[in-house]
Amino acid sequence: MAARVLMKVMAGDGFAAPALDAALQHAALPARDAGLATHVVYGTLRHAPSLKAALAPLLTGDTHPKVQTLLLAGAYEKLHLGTPAHAVVNEYVNLARAARLAPPGLVNAVLRRVEAAPMDRASTELPEWLEAVYRQAFGAQADAVTADLLRPQPLWLSVSEAGAASLQAEGSTLTPGPQGVDRVELSRPLRETDAFRQGHAQPINPASMACVDALGDVEGVRVLDLAGGAGVKAAMLAARGAQVTSVDVAARKHAAAKGNLNRLGLRADFLTHDLTGPLDVPPASHVLLDAPCTGSGTLRSHPEIKLRLTPAAVQAMAELQARMLPHAAALVEPGGVLVYSVCSVTPQEGPQVIARFLEAHPEFTVEPAPDLEVPHVPAGPGVLTVPDGGVDGFFIARMRRVGESSD
Ligand SMILES: C[S@@+](CC[C@H](N)C(=O)[O-])C[C@H]1O[C@@H](n2cnc3c(N)ncnc32)[C@H](O)[C@@H]1O
């Protein structure tokens, strides 16, 4: 199952998280096997660059992409998971034979001989240009950050008191983390817990919560949640008492957001709109643009991004963000607050988008984001949360429109 998920993801067909989730739900594996499949999928993706380097000298001529993926997973099990070599060879030879994918002799020979590649760039498992991005962003902390990106992602939950009590009663452990988000070790799959089913728990990374908190107190306030997607931040805003209107170009995401809000016993309004053009709704005192981005700050939970992302794609995303921001800004009342966030650590998508915007829009000034508990570093007109300890890397800038608020 892990190999099948990996073949899909390595072929560029979607992301690992939904593919694995769907496969796990379909297969209904015992918890230990589900855990192993998760390790194999994420571990293979996280270590793919050095595993490819280790396999390269053993492969002559063209190797079918699916066979390469099978060998990557086998090499991961042998070199990183500590599965005994003979078991790995046996298992993957059988897989290749059953799927009629590759001559079993090839799989046997390669997996028997594969050894860890010499450590050089393998220490970060990042393409050179992306490693430079991380070094520039996090300086002295870059080594710790890039090492952390190779560890399994913890589960972060925003959980009510009742939810915490219910999870603990089921044998889960909760450790308080930044932005009021708990780090949780579950005793059974999240969707099966009472806390989740009864709407007392919402998965959210602390850095993602920091974007919500950057808006300040939103109790009773109308908030425009722009590029609201599947509505995780919309839910957290609604939970803080905001009247949320969530806007996204993708109507299908509204359905997911509504379903999740229903589960949580919360509500929001939804508008389907392309924010590269103006949106005709009354301005609001609080506007969040959680813009589409490359996700370069989420490599721990989405390791496949580093295998696909290119500098050209970063540039294209920065251009899209720069087109959306003025339309978001136009929806901010005088005296109101605009928060711009992206889950990316590239300078193009964060500081540079905001710097260009401020040059053209002197009616906006930057101010510090309040309640920022996640570790962060300055990044031009905003901050970057530090993707260490399972926290994602987000760029967050809070701006205020000059003028008197109408309240
Ligand atoms: C980072 S995700 C949003 C995540 C969401 N805020 C949350 O917390 O769950 C970015 C969203 O931007 C949306 N998007 C992309 N291009 C857009 C556009 N031109 N206009 C409006 N939304 C857009 C995508 O559909 C995606 O849902």
Give the Cα separation of 198 and 264 in Å (integer): 7
- How many CA atoms, within 13 angstroms, populate the side-chain half-sphere of residue 197? 8
What is the distance between the alpha carbons of residues 213 and 233, in angstroms, rounded to a whole number? 10
The residue among 140, 168, 203 that closes a domain is 203
Based on the domain organization, do 271 and 349 belong to the same domain?
yes
On whether 274 is known to bind a ligand per the annotation, the reply is yes
Which CATH number is 159's domain given?
Answer: 3.30.70
Same domain, 257 and 368: yes
- The 10 Å Cβ neighbour count of residue 295 is 23
Say yes or no: 274 and 387 in one domain: yes
Q: Are residues 105 and 195 in the same domain?
A: no
Tell me how crowded residue 115 is: count the other CB atoms within 10 A of its CB: 11
Ligand 1, closest atom to CA 257?
9
Instruction: Find the DSSP H helices in 11-78.
Output: 16-27, 31-46, 48-55, 65-76
Range of the domain at 362: 206-401
State the distance between the two ends of the chain, measured CA to CA, in whole angstroms: 57
- Per the prediction, the chain carries an average pLDDT of 95
Do residue 261 and residue 360 come from a single domain? yes
Percent of the chain with pLDDT over 90: 89
Domain count of the chain? 3
Whether residue 121 has pLDDT greater than 80: no
* Residue 103 and residue 177 in one domain: no
Cβ–Cβ < 8 Å for 279, 327:
yes
Which residue's alpha carbon is at the smallest distance from atom 15 of ligand 1? 292
Which pLDDT belongs to residue 117?
A: 74
Q: Establish if 46 belongs to a structural domain.
A: yes
Q: Are 390 and 374 in contact (CB under 8 A)?
A: no
| Arithmetic mean of pLDDT, 103-129 | 85
- Determine, yes or no, domain membership for 249: yes
- Asked if residue 146 is part of any domain, the answer here is no
Query: What is the atom index within ligand 1 of the atom nearest the CA of 276?
Result: 19
In the reported structure, the alpha carbon of residue 369 is separated from the centroid of ligand 1 by a whole-number distance in angstroms of 22
Both tokens of residue 163?
Answer: 């939810």
Do 21 and 105 sit in the same domain of this protein?
A: yes
| Over residues 328-349, mean pLDDT | 98
Own/partner pairs, 308-314, CB within 8 angstroms, 24+ separation:
308/12, 309/127, 309/130, 311/129, 314/344, 314/346, 314/348, 314/349
Angle among Cα 366, 246, 155 to the nearest 5 degrees reads 85
- Kindly state whether residues 186 and 210 are assigned to the same domain: no
Pocket of ligand 1 contains residue 322 by CB under 6 Å:
no
CB-ligand 1 contact for 349 (6 Å cutoff): no
Residues 192 and 243 in one domain: no
Same domain for 221 and 314, yes or no, is yes
Instruction: Answer yes or no: 293 catalytic.
Output: no
Query: Is the per-residue pLDDT at 407 higher than 90?
Result: no
Question: Is residue 333 lining ligand 1, measured as CB closer than 6 Å?
Answer: no
> Is residue 137 situated within a structural domain?
no
Stated pTM of the model? 0.95
Residue 375 scores a pLDDT above 80: yes
SS3 at position 85: helix
CA angle, 259 as apex, 13 and 301 as ends, to 5°? 40
Which tens digits make up the pLDDT trace of 208-249? 999 999 999 999 999 999 999 999 999 999 999 999 999 999
The answer to whether residue 281 scores a pLDDT higher than 60 is yes
Can you give the CATH number for the domain in which 36 is found?
1.10.940.10
Residues in the chain: 407
* Residue 89 maps to a domain: yes
Q: Is the ipTM of this complex over 0.90?
A: yes
In order of 4, 26, 161, 231, the CA distances from 23 in angstroms are 9, 5, 32, 24
| CATH, residue 241 | 3.40.50.150
Assess if residue 252 is contained within a domain.
yes
Domain end, chosen from 98, 121, 144, is at 121
| Domain match, 374 and 270 both | yes
Q: Would 226 be classed as within a structural domain?
A: yes
Q: Confirm whether 144 is domain-assigned.
A: no
User: 344 and 313, same structural domain?
Assistant: yes
